[in-house]
């Protein structure tokens, strides 16, 4: 992460003040370091240290030992995932369970630690960011099989640019129907979660506890992506 990303010609440069950059740091660096720690890469943990950003260095961790101290629960869940991968007895549903527990855990710290980054965005974008993070917990409960094709289909429904205050879904003219509908759906989900004190998530987790329910959700989810495209 750098201190650029403020100009139109800097599209490949990520600002250290970016909420998305902070979130994705923990969604990518922590799994990588946990993989190293699990032994699956064949690399010694002592050989890996991530370069720090130009500021806010204390808000990140950079090697296995530092991250184990900073976010032990998340490191442990990712290490469990990589160790489970290596078992002859592992199966796809088990992999999804470990994967989503670790992935959702990766959001726990950064979503609480980087709330001040919302000040750099419009209210609409900040609300979308919050709703996106909330939605991850619901997808985790459903153990969504993140195949390449399915992930690509879902990614097409996310906004292609940062939202501004004049954007009103589902009437954003330069967004596709799917992108508009995803924004509406995420806002509804986020509002429901906040208004219920996350009771809706608890109920959803109970509902998704059976493989049949998860299968039915996956079918409905894919139909939504197909019909809204």
Q: Identify whether residues 116 and 126 lie together within a single domain.
A: no
Tokens of residue 41, six digits: 């890469």
- The answer on pLDDT for 5 being more than 70 is no
Q: Which long-range contacts (CB under 8 A, 24 or more apart) does 189-195 make?
A: 189/131, 189/134, 189/135, 189/138, 190/127, 190/130, 190/131, 190/134, 190/135, 193/134, 194/134
Count other Cβ atoms within 10 Å, centred on residue 91.
Answer: 10
- The answer on pLDDT for 124 being more than 70 is yes
Q: Identify whether residues 83 and 141 lie together within a single domain.
A: no
Which of 9-13, 80-84, 161-165 has the lowest average pLDDT?
9-13
Q: Identify whether residues 49 and 130 lie together within a single domain.
A: no
- The answer on pLDDT for 6 being more than 70 is no
Q: Identify whether residues 137 and 221 lie together within a single domain.
A: yes
The residue among 66, 101, 120 that closes a domain is 120
Match 């429904």 to its residue by tokens: 157
User: For position 11, what pLDDT does the model report?
Assistant: 61
Q: Identify whether residues 2 and 112 lie together within a single domain.
A: yes
> In the structure, what pLDDT confidence band is assigned to residue 226 with cuts at 50, 70 and 90?
confident
Q: Identify whether residues 99 and 168 lie together within a single domain.
A: no
For the residues 16-20, what does the mean pLDDT come to? 90
The residue among 66, 90, 120 that closes a domain is 120
Q: Identify whether residues 82 and 116 lie together within a single domain.
A: yes
For the residues 135-140, what does the mean pLDDT come to? 98
Instruction: Please state, in angstroms and rounded to a whole number, the distance separating the CA atoms of residues 228 and 86.
Output: 38
**By residue range, what is the domain housing residue 138?**
122-229
The residue among 72, 102, 120 that closes a domain is 120
63 closest CA partner among 74, 52, 79: 52
Indicate the pTM of the whole model.
0.90
Q: Identify whether residues 127 and 115 lie together within a single domain.
A: no
| Dihedral in degrees, nearest 10, Cα atoms 10, 30, 68, 75 | 160
Q: Identify whether residues 135 and 48 lie together within a single domain.
A: no
156-195 confidence digits (pLDDT tens) = 999 999 999 999 999 999 999 999 999 999 999 999 999 9
Q: Identify whether residues 216 and 143 lie together within a single domain.
A: yes
Q: Identify whether residues 114 and 165 lie together within a single domain.
A: no
Per the structure, the count of domains in the chain is: 2
Q: Identify whether residues 1 and 48 lie together within a single domain.
A: yes
93-118 confidence digits (pLDDT tens) = 999 999 999 999 999 999 999 999 99
> In the structure, what pLDDT confidence band is assigned to residue 127 with cuts at 50, 70 and 90?
very high
Instruction: Please state, in angstroms and rounded to a whole number, the distance separating the CA atoms of residues 29 and 183.
Output: 28
């Amino acid at each position: 992460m750098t201190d650029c990303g403020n100009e139109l010609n800097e599209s490949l440069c990520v600002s250290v003040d970016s909420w998305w950059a902070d979130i994705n740091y923990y969604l990518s660096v922590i799994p990588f370091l946990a993989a190293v720690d699990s032994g699956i890469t064949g690399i010694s943990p002592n050989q890996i240290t991530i370069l720090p950003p130009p500021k806010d260095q204390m808000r990140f961790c950079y090697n296995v030992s530092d991250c184990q101290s900073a976010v032990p629960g998340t490191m442990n869940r990712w290490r469990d995932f990589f160790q489970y991968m290596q078992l002859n007895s592992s199966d796809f549903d088990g992999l999804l369970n470990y994967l989503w527990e670790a992935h959702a855990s990766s959001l726990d710290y950064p979503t609480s630690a980087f709330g001040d980054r919302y000040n750099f965005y419009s209210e609409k974008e900040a609300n979308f960011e919050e709703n996106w993070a909330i939605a991850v917990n619901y997808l985790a409960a459903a153990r969504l099989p993140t195949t390449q094709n399915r992930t690509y289909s879902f990614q097409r429904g996310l906004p292609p640019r940062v939202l501004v205050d004049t954007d009103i879904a589902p009437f954003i003219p330069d967004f596709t129907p799917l992108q508009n509908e995803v924004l509406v759906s995420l806002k509804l989900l986020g509002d429901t979660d906040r208004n219920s004190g996350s009771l809706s998530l608890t109920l959803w987790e109970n509902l998704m506890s059976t493989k049949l329910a998860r299968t039915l959700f996956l079918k409905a989810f894919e139909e939504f992506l197909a019909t809204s495209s």
